[in-house]
Every structure is written in C-alpha cells, then in structure tokens.
Amino acid sequence: MNNIKRDITTREDIELLMNNFYERLLTDENINYIFTDVAKIDMKAHIPVIADFWESVLLHKNVYHNNAMKIHMDLNDKTSLTQNHFDIWLKHFNNTVDGLFEGVTALLAKQRAKSVATVMQIKIAQNKKP
C-alpha cells in the first residue's frame, strides 16, 4: 500500500483540506457550536469562500476579497473566542493537513494557520471593551 502523501498544489487540494477540516470541527463539541449556533454557517456556501482564502494564502491566487479579521471580530462580539478555541481550531487544522498532505505548501499551511490564529487573538485582545 502506498502511503506517500503529496503536497497541496491545486484548488481541489484546498477544497479537500477544508471539507475534511470542517468535518472535524463540526464533530468537536468544544467548538462546533460557534459554527452551528452562533455563526449559523451554511457549509455549502462557506467552503468555497474559505477555500478562496486559503487559495490566496497558499497558492498566491487573488481570489479572496473579504475581510477575515472583521468577520472574526464580529463573531467575537457574539461569543467570546478564547485561547482554547484557537488551540482547538489549530489542532484540527494541523491534524487535517498532516492526515492528507506533506510537503512545502502543507508546512506553509500550518505556519500560516498559526499566524492567522495569533493575529486574530491579538486583535481580539486589543479590541476588548474596558
């Protein structure tokens, strides 16, 4: 059996990653309510948008035109996004990448995910109301 994984190279790879990643998130009771009850995300609509984000970040395609920071700041206004939420998100992201891919872009995906989570946590902390 061939267990050699390939790297992330196409939009289809990113969609595979996002579908598997959100499948993991939605089964984790410590975080799934943010997507289902608070944000009420329609996954069929969300996956292409989040795939645009990661395609822009990883494959340098100019296809994402939303403000991810504002979206998450608005979400934090509805329910507090905690360090634990970001840790869970990052764990599932990294495990999903590792389960599907291996290579330079896969490593970059994990590095960028950590950067995104870190910046969002900093911005949320700076935006806390006194």
The predicted-structure confidence for 25-57, as pLDDT tens digits, reads as follows: 999 999 999 999 999 999 999 999 999 999 999
Q: For residue 94, is it within any domain?
A: yes
CATH number of the domain bearing residue 90: 1.10.490.10
Q: Which helix (H) or strand (E) holds 114?
A: helix 104-126
The predicted-structure confidence for 61-95, as pLDDT tens digits, reads as follows: 999 988 888 888 889 889 889 999 999 999 999 99
> 101: helix, coil or strand?
strand
Task: For residues 29 and 9, give the distance between their C-alpha atoms in angstroms, rounded to a whole number.
Answer: 32
Q: For residue 1, is it within any domain?
A: no
Q: For residue 31, is it within any domain?
A: yes
Q: Where in the sequence is the domain holding 70, given as residue range(s)?
A: 11-126
Q: Is the pTM of this model over 0.85?
A: yes
Cα 116 vs. chain centroid, distance in angstroms?
Answer: 9
